[in-house]
């Protein structure tokens, strides 16, 4: 039986690796400036490779930026395994973990089923709200600004991404310090710094979210094709970055 070739991790070139030091310095300057300009800034880590890169800089420079992650209750074990790995690598690092309101999540599945996300766009978005957006709102309620690992190259819906934006939903500033990085540059940094990464990257997953809503992609497909694959390309966002 024919099996399509799956996406594979980029192999950075010698030139990519040479550029890492310059990129690293620029990222350090960006994060330093954010921390100085907005004391109390928080970093929302999805534990994707981009977020591990940002975490590495925050931890190495001991920047006063609180890191948190959203444990949706639907993450792959491979993703959850990264949290203790990060804490082992950076002993002084404190990653706050936010989880859904248990009864709300239980009631939603009792009414709509554990497969509600597949039934309609509205139900999928409702699930994302319960398991992601409400958590993010809690995490950011007292923050003057927040940081994400988004990049322009990740999808068509992010092609106009800027370094600094206004989060209109929460009326705070949002920063995307990797907005202009390429996929190869991200992987070059991770390789040079020997960062811990999600094991799912070894199995055709370039973009990783909740387990029911993420699958590996074929070689040559859009990098986010495995996210909410049953929907059209223009709806492939959960609302965290709306």
Sign, Cα dihedral of 238, 74, 148, 69 = positive
| Residue 128 appears among annotated catalytic residues | no
Torsion-angle region of 72 (φ positive above 0: left; ψ -120 to 50: alpha; else: beta)? alpha
Rg (Cα) of the chain, in Å, rounded? 18
DSSP 55-75: HHHHHHTT-S-EEEEE--S-B
DSSP 142-205: T-SEEE----GGG-GGGTT--SEEEETTTTEEEE-TTTT--HHHHHHHHHHHT----GGGGGT-
Among candidate residues 7, 25, 6, the one with its CA nearest the CA of residue 189: 25
- Residues carrying an active site annotation: 238
């Amino acid at each position: 039986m024919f099996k399509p070739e799956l996406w594979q991790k980029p192999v950075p070139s010698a030139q990519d690796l040479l550029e890492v030091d310059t990129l690293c310095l620029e990222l350090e300057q960006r994060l330093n400036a954010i921390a100085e300009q907005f004391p109390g800034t928080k970093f929302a880590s999805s534990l994707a490779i981009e977020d591990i890169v940002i975490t590495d800089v925050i931890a190495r420079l001991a920047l006063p930026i609180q890191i948190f992650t959203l444990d949706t209750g639907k993450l792959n074990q491979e993703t959850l395994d990264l949290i203790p790995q990060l804490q082992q690598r950076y002993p002084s690092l404190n990653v706050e973990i936010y989880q859904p309101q248990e009864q709300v999540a239980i009631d939603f599945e009792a009414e709509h089923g554990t497969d509600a996300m597949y039934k309609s766009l509205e139900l999928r978005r409702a699930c994302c709200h319960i398991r992601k957006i409400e958590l993010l709102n809690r995490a950011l309620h007292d923050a003057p600004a927040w940081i994400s690992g988004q990049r322009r190259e990740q999808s068509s819906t992010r092609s106009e991404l800027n370094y600094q934006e206004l989060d209109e939903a929460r009326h705070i500033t949002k920063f995307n310090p990797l907005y202009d990085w390429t996929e190869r540059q991200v992987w070059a940094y991770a390789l040079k710094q020997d960062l811990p990464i999600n094991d799912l990257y070894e199995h055709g997953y370039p973009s990783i979210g909740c387990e029911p809503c993420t699958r590996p992609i074929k070689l040559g497909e859009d990098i986010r094709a495995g996210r909410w694959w049953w929907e059209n390309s223009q709806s492939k966002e959960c609302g965290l970055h709306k």
